Amino acid sequence: MTTTKGEMWEAEIKSLDQKGSGQAEVWRKNELGNPKKLRLIIPQTLPGEKVRVMVDQPERKLRKAMPEEVLEVHPERMSPPCPHFERCGGCVWQHWQYEGQLRHKTNHVKHAIEEQGFNPELVQDTIGVESPWHYRNKMEFTFAPDGSLGLHEQGNFRKIISLETCLIAGKEMVEAAMEVATWVKDHQLKGYDKDLHEGLLRHLMVRQSFATGEVMLALFATEAPNTHLKDAVEDLVKRIEEKFPQVKSLLWLENTDWADRTQSEESHVLAGRDFIYDEMDGYRFRLWFNTFFQTNPVQAQKLVDLAIEMGEPKKSEKMIDLFCGVGTFSLPFASKVGKLAGIEIVESSIESAKRNAKDNGLENTFFLAKDARKGIDEILETFGRPELLLLDPPRSGAGGKVMRKIGRSKPERIVYVSCNPDTFATDIKELEQFGYTLDIVQPVDLFPHTVHVEVVAKLTLNKDLN
């Protein structure tokens, strides 16, 4: 059916893409009457469903369209509990029962390693969470030009959806964020306009330690909290101190850069300190606004437990923690090995790792701020060959050069923690030529209702080949 808005099609969802949206194909005739394939991206659908969609500009090869009607419903489809789900870009799978999400993530990991020639049976079922709600300990909200606070619209970076709630963030975090949103409206403060590059407030970062209960609120603004903002800032401090005693860090961070990132050129502590305390595996960490720390603390603890179980650390051994960050894995492992060296390119993270080790009374650690590939060389010269190596690289993976450097250094055991199954599979393929065998891959779900999945894997050196 053709209307002024486009053409109506019925389509069957064959698979999901990397963003969690349904993929379908329909055939239409072009202007010459020849068949032409139209690929459709249809969000908020599930594999096997049949849907009716309105497609604008159907003469193109690929179009994105929202479902007008679900004709055949997947048995695991559910009603999304969040009132913002259909528009907000924070979640993509609230319409899918959690068991189905976990099954899909397991299959994703299996497919990724099978494509690189590994046995998919090495992949265990994904470990889920007991409750897939209110699991995040950090959120970054954005201000719209009118001052309203929310998250980006699905597929539209320019549009901000004003939020009344958020079901994946900690409840106290949401309450504090909503108080800030009310404060902005009461003082008629403007948000930042990305097109005009004007306005005051850009982002609000909220992070909370689920272990200590401490909360950080960090406002990112285009100017300092100067004279004309004095009354508004004093009111903000008063509101937060009266209603949220768990807020131990209230920050105002200047950011005049055009890039839309939560960065700071100048920091102002409005109340409390410039960091909060968090804990994991019995170790205490200091978290600043720009500290990377796992955003799902319950599942992050499982990552640490799995890494220790797979790594089998011994007091007689040396260990390298590559891409060590602030020491999330370094500290728990340090108490179980003879010596531990951590390598991380971000200097502020290394300084935090050193401080965290000192705060926890660990004296057998050494942290180096250097690129991973060069850092390995320096550590090997002064530290010697490690029996155990752990790496937890960014989403882009460690890369072939780093993996080959690891392979040549010949650690007996390698534990690889990854947030991207595809780059993980590509990376570990590099280790085969050095005699390493993949023993086990354990997916862990840190981000329910999203496409993301973490893995912890163990590789062992075949000593008969070396």
Of 82, 88, 166, 419, the active-site residue reads 419
Task: Please tell me the distance from the alpha carbon of residue 110 to that of residue 258, in angstroms, as a whole number.
Answer: 40
How is residue 154 written in tokens? Answer: 């699905």
Residues in CB range of 430: below 8 A, 6 or more apart? 400, 403, 404, 407
Is residue 421 classed as helix, strand or coil in its secondary structure? helix
Q: Are 446 and 136 in contact (CB under 8 A)?
A: no
The candidate with the shortest Cα–Cα distance to 452, out of 61, 48, 132, is 132
Angle at 288 between CA 200 and CA 227, to 5 degrees: 30
3-state secondary structure at position 142 = strand
CA-CA distance, 151 to 133, in Å (whole number)? 17
Please give the DSSP secondary-structure letter assigned to residue 375: H
The H or E element that residue 308 is part of is helix 297-311
Backbone dihedral angles phi then psi of residue 336, each to the nearest 5 degrees: -115, -5
Q: Cβ(63)–Cβ(56) under 8 Å?
A: yes
Q: Tell me if 60 sits within 8 A of 38, measured CB to CB.
A: yes
The answer to whether 91 is a known catalytic residue is no
Enter the tokens of residue 271. 């109340």
Q: Is 354 helix (H, G, I), strand (E, B) or coil?
A: helix
Q: Quick one: how far is CA 406 from the chain centroid?
A: 25
313: burial class by Cβ within 10 Å (0-12, 13-18, 19+)? buried
Give the containing element (helix H, strand E) for 98.
helix 98-115
Rounded alpha-carbon distances, angstroms, from residue 412 to 72, 313, 388, 435 = 52, 11, 6, 10
Phi/psi of residue 69, nearest 5 degrees = -160, 140
Q: What does the alpha-carbon distance between residue 320 and residue 340 come to, in Å, rounded to a whole number?
A: 6
Q: How many CA atoms lie within 13 A of 365 on its CB side?
A: 29
**Which residues sit opposite 40 in a β-bridge?**
24, 63
Burial class (CB in 10 A: 0-12, 13-18, 19+), 33: exposed
CB within 8 Å of 23: residues ≥ 6 apart: 13, 14, 15, 16, 17, 39, 40, 41, 42
In whole angstroms, what is the distance from residue 201 CA to residue 256 CA? 11
Q: Which residues are catalytic?
A: 419
